[in-house]
Structure 1
Amino acid sequence: MKIDLNGKTALVTGSTAGIGLAIVKGLAATGAEVILNGRKEATVARALTEVRDSVADANVTGFVGDLGNAEGCEALVAAHPSVDILVNNLGIYGPQDFFETPDSDWNRFFETNVMSGVRLSRAYLPGMIEKGWGRVVFIASESALNIPSDMIHYGFSKTAQLSIARGLSKRVAGTGVTVNSVLPGPTLSDGLVEMLKDATKPSQSIEEAAAEFVMANRPSSIIQRAASVTEVANMVVYVCSTLSSATSGAALRVDGGVVDSLV
């Protein structure tokens, strides 16, 4: 199976590290022109260097801007008015008790995790429809189905992404454009590595510490470890490709079997 996205332009939001950066690398390796995004010049520059060092002849550019508000999304669309592939990866998370989560935090999670994807999909889908080809992918989470009691506000935002993606897939039915969601589970991203640093025993690798964390917090995991960011990115790259033309409206889990469901 060969994925060739030469001639296609892809945008990956929130992509200077972790799953987002792995998706950028994966898409760049297929020949796509990729726009990566972050809020700071320094992190965008560092991510661009990492992609170019990792992928020979990578065609990658950066956009610096906060897409967690309407102004940031408008600036991005003004700078890059047309893309063939939109990966709505931008997201924030963090544990917080329901009774201690103020309206401002609910609004911040909604604006960042949900409305960024809404605004960019609204801006870019018409061009995809006109060309008769396009891909939109929302990076959700297994927490969209398995709502964490200590992050209800986060789980809610990820469930909202599933609803939007499914609805949009119906809205663009028959146009050659597909819309899907990808649901990662526990993943060995920069955030998890940082969190595990203090808990890692001297004799443990970070992968072993992550596996221990997964089994303590997500004991239903079938692979019994954290996924790598590349394993998640592989699914996303496939869904963005021409080979996935019969997949639309799907919620594709890369959760290691955490969600105990037949479908």
Structure 2
Amino acid sequence: MKANAVPLLAIFETKLQLEVPLFQRQYVWSRDDHWEPLWEDIARKFTDYLEGRRDSPVHFLGAMVLDQRQVPVTHVAKRQVIDGQQRLTTFQVFLSAFRDFSRTQGCVAIADECVKYTVNSGMMANPETDRFKVWPTQLDRKQYKDVLLAGSREQLEELHPLRRKKYKRKPEPRARMVEAYVYFYDQLTAFFLGTATEPPLMHEAVLEMRLDECLQALKNALQVVAIDLEQGDDAQVIFETLN
């Protein structure tokens, strides 16, 4: 195995697909245990960059274990995600929310730059699937594609509306990735636009400048330890050991 600390977005910037193998479980991350702590980590780095502390220590998001897949030369390069798929998937959902929020606020250049971190571009043998940077297991693909391709919160909520059962006060929960997207979109809205009782950080600065500064934080201040398996490493055994 080879391990390297790298910015997460540097991995997503590569023309590459991180494929979740069949033996992995479905997407299970939740708000209290996972999305909220991740957002707090991201917001902390956003704040560092907005307040001019670019030299503050990078934040490590954990490790991911990848196994190289042999594909024809005309296909997008692929890695199987042996460990770290929940984190990688969640970050793709977050990037989609950041992209759509930016576009809704008229910051099209920021939104367009985010696109290259969620989908591959250029010629592909199987563009319908190869364009996605992360490709989840079969049962998660519908909601994942909806989140990444809807293009706006409004469009996503049309695809996944809240539904209430008769005599129930609370709506039924939507697909987890949809709920994650809505959670992150709400947090981004409060962070950049403020709330009824509190203005946003650095509110005197132009929104596009603040969004761009935070995009730089996403590019440079969030790292992962990428562990590449080598020939002879048993991916299934390593997965079972880690989990």
TM bin (shorter chain): under 0.3
TM-score (norm 1): 0.25
Q: Which has the higher contact order (CA 8 A, sep 6+)?
A: 2
TM-score (norm 2): 0.26
